[in-house]
Amino acid sequence: MLTRLTRPATALALAAGIAAAAPAPSRAQEVDFSAMTPEQRQAFGEQVRAYLMENPQVIMEAVSVLEAQQAEQQAAADEQIVADNADALYRDGYSWVGGNPDGDITIVEFSDYRCGYCRKAFPEVEELIESDGNIRFIMKEFPILGEASVTSSRFAIATLMEAGPEAYKSVHDALMTLEGEPSEPVLRRLAGTLGLDVDAIIARMSDEEITRRIQETRALAARLKINGTPSFVFGGEMLRGYVPLDSMREIAAQIRSDR
């Protein structure tokens, strides 16, 4: 995604582009802007403008350089944030864990059942985990799109608490493809279809422990600077937004090759 540049950042980018395009000056040739008169600064600005008009490709080259630098800085910052929150991400004691529990790569997904891109990512994440066979997957219930999202997450977490991880997975998959609102009659039918104890799960939905888990996940997301779904922590790398299956496979391959 293109990062919008501020005027100072643009100026720095242009300066970087000019410096890259021209031979490196000696110290004697370096310009002391603070010592310039207003007339000299104006003349220098006109020279820069003339150069850019004659070499407009420098602008895009400079923007590319700046974006690459910003991406590297963001990746380093994300890596540190992930390390600082490793326990909450990987060992919170209550998030559902699927895939290969001994996998060499761990993926954490922050997801909302009412999110269109989460639903789009759902079958692709499933395919990645199944076809790879060596990925540990952790689901973070992150309802941020309104009351229906919260209701869906409370139902899923109540199922996990009441009926265990296999039942949770079945409910999670059903909620990801559910059409319409997750009203109580709908959820009752869904649980009944899966052979679950409907009354026990519905009663558990009001448990304060569920509220605590959702609040903790939201607090974790805030620390990770996650404000949308789906978002992933992929082997220590932050991926904010939908990622196609082929790209996820490439990232997994790159992580393994870097080791």
pLDDT tens digit sequence for 178-198: 999 999 999 999 999 999 999
Q: Are 130 and 158 in contact (CB under 8 A)?
A: no
Return the domain boundaries, the chain. 7-80, 87-257
Residue 44: is its pLDDT beyond 90? no
pLDDT of residue 31: 63
pLDDT of residue 68: 74
Half-sphere exposure of 77 (CA within 13 A, CB side): 9
Residue 228: is its pLDDT beyond 80? yes
pLDDT tens digit sequence for 56-102: 887 788 777 777 776 677 677 788 999 999 999 999 999 999 999 99
Task: Quote the Cα angle for 213-215-221, to 5°.
Answer: 105
Mean pLDDT of the chain: 87
pLDDT of residue 21: 45
pLDDT tens digit sequence for 214-224: 999 999 999 99
pLDDT of residue 236: 82
DSSP 258: T
Question: Does domain 87-257 match CATH 1.10.630.10?
Answer: no
3-state secondary structure of 109: strand
DSSP 235: T
33-48: average pLDDT: 84
* Residues in contact with 94: Cβ distance below 8 Å, sequence separation at least 6, in sequence order: 160, 213
Ramachandran region, residue 93 (left: φ > 0; alpha: ψ -120 to 50; beta: rest): left
Higher pLDDT, 204 or 25: 204
Structural tokens at position 59: 């602008």
